[in-house]
Amino acid sequence: RNPAKPARWALAHSRQAKANVIVSIVRVGANLVFALELKTFANNCSRANTRFAPTLALGIITFSLSLTAMG
pLDDT digits (tens, 9 = 90+) for 10-68: 777 788 888 888 888 888 888 888 888 888 877 766 665 555 567 777 777 888 888 77
Q: How confident is the model at residue 2 (pLDDT cuts 50, 70, 90)?
A: low
- Helix, strand, coil percentages (3-state) for the chain, rounded to 5, are 85, 0, 15
| Domain regions of the chain by residue span | 4-70
The residue count for the chain: 71
Distance CA 67, CA 34 (A): 12
